[in-house]
Homo-oligomer: A and B are copies of this chain.
Amino acid sequence: MHLSHLAEQILEGDPRAIARGISVVEDDPGAGAELVRELFGRSGRAYLVGITGAPGAGKSTLVDALVAAWRKRGRTIGVIAVDPTSPYSGGAMLGDRVRMQAHAGDQGVFIRSMATRGHLGGLARATGDAALVLDAAGKEVVIIETVGVGQDEVDIIRTADVSVVTLVPGAGDEVQALKAGIMEIADIFVVNKADREGADRLVSAVEANLALQAYGADEWRPPIVKTIATTGQGVPELVDAIWRFRERSKNNEATRRRTRSEYRLRELVSQRFMDHLERDVLAADELSGLVDRIAAREIDPYTAANELLKRAGLKTGPYKERL
């Protein structure tokens, strides 16, 4: 199938084409870049919702409940689920089927897990491109669900229009695996499993944390929404909170998307340059040989970097101060 034909079918919202398109951006960066080129001008309408939280916070159940709530309000939804702690895409795909069954026959919903290994340009690039496919396919809301444990996940959540951080009460979890940077990028906090002991203490802890920051009168102060995802309790309130954030941040949305575009462009350029260097310029073991020489202290990394830039035919000036 030609990619332009696939793109047409994706734009028509065909579920098989969507599935195929996501596989393409996941598995074949070259064809993926082509597909993104075809779809890019017809995308940008979906609202991207990032949902993150520690393992065991009940994110999948919460996302399923969100999907149901949004469908009730007539919105079409796409979900990209990223879980680096379960690297087996086979298992993930089985999980997808189970999750999709709840919405069987409903073309307004598309759920897909991302394998988490072996993405050229990283998981964040693959996730962003997969979200773009769902966006181009006409999904009004695209949820990106991820475990908030690493830089990859922070990068992913940064690509969203709104960031929802899911916490869960739990005694004795001194080693809770949540990246501090994620607390800072939260637009909305969810305390899930709110019927558990310690839920109110957790709400207070987050409140205390928020109280440390000085929010201006016009500034969005992240609300804390209590949910019980298994029963759906609190989920309509979460949808409301997300919509409220969307209304309030309409003016900043352009800035946010621009920052995102710049970040993405810089990443792509750096990565493609390294790729070019290794593939088109250097001999097979040249980079490796240079690394050996650095490790043996025969050459310093700055001089080595300069040599590589020269090998690529670049005329670089001295390393000037530019902070």
Which A residues have a C-beta under 8 Å from some C-beta of B?
Answer: 28-30, 33, 36-37, 40-41, 43-44, 118-120, 149-151, 154, 167, 169-170, 172-181, 183, 198, 201-202, 205-206, 209, 254, 257-258, 261-262, 264-266, 268-277, 279-280, 287, 290-292, 294-295, 297-306, 308-309, 312-323
Contact = CB atoms under 8 A, between A and B. Distances in A.
B180 A150 contact: yes
A279 B322 contact: yes
A181 B150 contact: yes
A83 to B, nearest CB: 13
Contacts of A271: 270
Nearest to A255: B295
13 contacts: A28-B321, A36-B300, A37-B300, A41-B297, A119-B323, A150-B179, A169-B174, A173-B174, A177-B178, A270-B271, A272-B309, A272-B316, A276-B309
Given A29-B321, A179-B150, A319-B30, A304 B265 contact: yes
A272 B206 CA distance: 41
A120 B303 CA distance: 17
Contacts of A150: 151, 179-181
B120 A308 contact: no
B175 A33 contact: no
Contacts of A44: 297
A161 to B, nearest CB: 13
A237 to B, nearest CB: 21
Q: Which 4 A-B pairs have the closest CB atoms?
A: A40-B300, A177-B180, A151-B151, A149-B180
Contacts of A320: 29-30, 279
A170 to B, nearest CB: 6
Given A258-B292, A273-B314, A174 B198 contact: yes
A295 B261 contact: yes
Given A33-B319, A169-B174, A268-B302, 10 more contacts: A28-B321, A41-B300, A149-B180, A151-B154, A264-B301, A265-B287, A265-B294, A266-B274, A269-B309, A272-B305
